[in-house]
Amino acid sequence: MNPYTLDEAAEKVGAKIKQLRIDGGYTSYENFAVANSLDRKQYWRVEKGANIRLNTLLDILNIHKITLEEFFKGL
């Protein structure tokens, strides 16, 4: 049985993405999005836990130079 709802899982993914941004030295999601050619509004939704497409997640992970395995470890 899945212990999370889709909303809960998306929220955890968003929080981890936000932490990656902060750990990367970006205090503003807008600055991070612009610096990495991402749509600001879409990126904001990702950090807020919106259900995201796999290609969007992969783009973000590539920017941070981490694999899916590294991202989901401990999540």
pLDDT, tens only, 9-48: 899 999 999 999 999 999 999 999 999 999 999 999 999 9
Residue 7 phi/psi, 5° resolution?
-65, -40
Residue 1: inside a domain, yes or no?
A: no
Residue 31: inside a domain, yes or no?
A: yes
Residue 17: inside a domain, yes or no?
A: yes
Domain of 19, CATH number, reads 1.10.260.40
Q: Say which DSSP state 75 is in.
A: -
Structural domains counted in the chain: 1
56 CB-near residues (< 8 Å, 6+ apart): 42, 46
| pLDDT for 1 | 56
